[in-house]
Structure formats: C-alpha cells, structure tokens
Amino acid sequence: MAQIKLAILSQDLQPGQRLPSTRELARRLKIHSNTVSAAYSELTELGWVEMRAGSGVYVRQFNREVELEAQLDLDNLIVEFLQFARRKGFSLGEIQSRVKHWLRLQPPDHFLVIDPDPEFREILIAEIQAATGFRTLGASIEDCANRSNLIGSVPVALYGQAEIVTAALPPKMACLLIRTRSVTETLKGETAPSIEDLITVASRWPTFLNYGRSMLAAVKVDPDALDFRDARKKGWQKGLRTSSFVITDAATAANIPPGIRTRVFQIISDASLAELRNYVEKFLTGAVVTSGAVAMD
C-alpha cells in the first residue's frame, strides 16, 4: 500500500492507469493473493484507487477542487518536500538526520496514560481529557517497549506505578505522577441519599464497583437500595431509568442513556488535575519534555 501511494504521489502511476491484477502482483511480490486483494480494497476505501467491475483496479482520477483525504494530503506534502530536497542535492542520509533533529524539537502533542489495567486506564484518560482539553491516549506497560508508541507523548502514571513505568520508559523521558482522590475528598459536599432512593453504581472497572460499595456504606446507605452494574456485560443499561440516579466513572458516563440523573465520581485528585492543567499551559505550547520524573501531588 505504501509503495502504491508513493508511486501515485510521485506520478510514477498516472491517474487512470490500470494496476496489475491481484494474481499478477501476488506472483510478482511472492505474497498471497488475499493480501493484495485486501490492500486494493483498503486503497479503494481511502480513495487512492477505484475498482471497475470486470475491468480491474485503476488509479483514481482526483478532482483537485475537492479536498482529499487527510492522509493523502500529508503524504503529498512529504513527497514534495523529499523531491525538492533531492533536487537541491541533499542526500537521503542528510534529509533523515535533519528531519529527526526537527522532530525532536517539536513539543509533545498528547498525554499518554500508562497503566496495566485497560478499564482503569480508560477512566483516567477520560478525566484528564475533560480536565485539560489536551489530547490524551493510553498504553500498557508492554506497549512502552515499542518506542514509536511514545513519540509526541508526555507519559502519565499513578504514584503506585511509578517504579515499573519509569523503568519501561527511555532514561531521559519524563513521567508525570498523579494521585487518586481520597474517600474524604470524594464525599466532600455530598448529601446522604434519602431512604426512598434507588441507587445504581455502573462501571466497566470492577474496582470502581467495590469502591462505590465502600463509599456508600460510609454514608450509611441501605445495601438493599443499591444496584451494581458491570458495564462490560451485555444489557447493563436495561432498567436504569428506574434508578433515582446512577453513580458512575468518567469513561462509563458517556454510555449512560440521556435523561438519566448521573453523578460522575472523579478518580484523580483535584490537585493532580490542577497540576496537569498547569503543565499544559506552561510547557505544551512550545517546550519539550526532556528528562526526569515530575512528581505531582
């Protein structure tokens, strides 16, 4: 696919030109014909080529007045840059070296939440994204072994995971450490539900359900008035409208049907979220994170 895209952008393949048949290209490249067929199908979906019934696959005739697919635009810019640099006499080695240099100078463009628990990770991502407005992605500890997953990121992890996460990161890469809210902080300003309330606690993260059980016991809620829903199970939303309100996490909240009273309980401490917002304002508008672990409380 990459070779075909590059050939189209460099005009080695002209608009309207017929591509080799699936069998012919598979034989030429010594790969399975299903692989070629899948590549042609994806290139068709992305708008690079078109399939003509009974005729074959052809390079698409682009309408320059219509904005092309975003990836094509970026690839086009890259190809034009490479062609211009080569015409100026620069070698591929020189181009690669300078591109790497300027990429290293670019500020990070997203937070990367690193945690071994995928469900918990999604909650942290949702909270950080909502609190900072900064793009936030997630990764497991194992994902860090692939350094390409870390490009453009500012890693974020809980204090309890600090040792294992920093060990998985490159030596000079920063890791922001955050804390979770205490039960006291969570219950601050909350009033005890009335005796008639039916309360549902919903989450994809099992620990949140246990956390909710302990939290509600602390305010002396009748256990018979509680309903716990594992949002990983099919049909978990059924009957939610009979609840007085639903207690949930930031990630699961997006899947609560509209019109249902919902209370989203925050996992990350207010202080840590404030530090993340401050970090975005101070450092992510042009600075580069270079070294050390930044402790946040």
Side-chain half-sphere CA neighbours of 250 within 13 A: 15
Q: What's residue 185's pLDDT?
A: 60
In order along its 297 residues, the chain shows pLDDT tens digits of 878 887 776 677 888 899 999 999 999 888 999 999 999 998 888 788 898 888 899 998 765 444 445 556 677 778 788 888 888 898 888 988 888 888 777 788 899 999 999 999 999 999 999 999 999 999 999 999 998 899 889 999 999 999 999 999 998 888 999 998 875 565 566 566 666 778 899 999 998 998 888 777 767 777 888 899 999 999 999 999 988 889 999 999 999 999 998 988 889 999 999 999 999 988 875 443 333 444 444
Neighbours of 270 (CB within 10 A): 13
Side-chain half-sphere CA neighbours of 164 within 13 A: 12
DSSP for 203-246, written as a single string: ESSHHHHHHHHHHHHHTT--GGGEEEEETTSTTTTTTGGGSSEE
CB 271 within 8 A of CB 297: yes
- Positions of E strands within 140-205: 153-158, 175-178, 199-203
Helix (H, G, I), strand (E, B) or coil at 54: coil
Structure tokens at 134: 């900064």
Q: Who contacts 126 (Cβ-Cβ below 8 Å, separation ≥6)?
A: 249, 250, 251, 253, 254
Helix (H, G, I), strand (E, B) or coil at 15: coil
CB 206 within 8 A of CB 249: no
CB 117 within 8 A of CB 139: no
DSSP for 54-113, written as a single string: TTEEEE----TTSPPPHHHHHHHHHHHHHHHHHHTT--HHHHHHHHHHHHHTSPP-EEEE
Decide if domain 2-59 falls under CATH 1.10.10.10. Answer: yes
Q: What's residue 101's pLDDT?
A: 82
**How far, in Å, CA of 4 to CA of 9, rounded?**
9
Q: Domain residues of the chain, as ranges?
A: 2-59, 70-104, 110-181+271-295, 183-264
**How far, in Å, CA of 168 to CA of 80, rounded?**
37
**How far, in Å, CA of 199 to CA of 244, rounded?**
6
Distance between first and last Cα of the chain = 47
Q: What's residue 82's pLDDT?
A: 84
Q: Are strands 110-114 and 153-158 parallel, antiparallel or unpaired?
A: parallel
Nearest to 249 by CA among 230, 270, 264: 264
